[in-house]
Amino acid sequence: MKIFRLLIMASLGYLMIGCASMTGTIQGNQPVDKSKGVLLAGLTADDKGYVNDAWYYYRKKDSQEELRLDALGTNLFGKPDDYPEDKSKDGRLVAIPLDAGEYELFSWTLYINQAGGYGYIKPKNSPPPLSFSISPGKITYLGNLHINTFTGKNFFGISIPAGAEPDIRDNQSVDMPLLKVKYPNLNDWPVQVSVPDASAWKMLK
């Protein structure tokens, strides 16, 4: 597996990474505008104490606005865990209303505790965009967007986070039943499966 360069930044950088933001997720008890479509994805990160969050970035094609998908988000009561049966990871299934159109995933970042502060692991080189479509009145399922974490040893022989790699896969067997429970207001919406082929992302150094 390819290890990505670890980028250490000041802790204030967490508040100022680009212009990306996480748009509001759908609430399960609220009506959803069918003139829009819905992005559905399971967002997860390894269940390790030093992992603070995992982010995937996306945008509408021909737009400069960068948007972010957060696996864990800001939660004062602990990490969200929509997948309690899998003890190796934390995360959540998110459903986000979007205008119809063509979109693309274009990068990712792992946000970690590092060296008494915060660090970010992200690809050194920009990965090729992964395209998907949003259609009005339909759910577009992107699969499980996970980030694997790799460890190394520091000068004292202590294990520390040393790299990361994106892992995108079809997880319908878990996410479709969860969709019905978490978002009952979307039960009558058709689902179009659009899990990107992220093999090119894993080949980047």
d(CA 27, CA 177): 17
Tokens of 122: 């992200």
For residue 70 the two structure tokens come to 């957060």
**Amino acid at the residue 175:** D
**Are the C-beta atoms of 132 and 103 separated by less than 8 Å?**
yes
Domain boundaries, the chain: 6-202
Chain centroid to Cα 83, Å, comes to 15
pTM, 2 dp: 0.86
Query: Residue 131: CB partners within 8 Å, gap ≥ 6?
Result: 61, 102, 103, 104, 196
- Tens-digit pLDDT string for the chain (205 aa): 444 444 433 333 333 344 455 778 999 999 999 999 999 999 999 998 889 999 999 999 989 899 999 999 866 667 889 999 999 999 999 999 999 999 999 999 999 987 778 899 999 889 999 999 999 999 999 999 999 998 777 777 777 777 899 999 999 999 999 999 999 999 999 999 999 999 989 765 5
Q: Reduced to 3 states, what is the DSSP secondary structure of residue 147?
A: strand
Using an 8 Å Cβ cutoff, are 69 and 145 in contact? Answer: yes
3-state helix, strand, coil in the chain (%, to 5): 10, 45, 45
Answer positive or negative: Cα dihedral of 177, 68, 113, 7.
positive
* Token pair recorded at residue 126: 């920009």
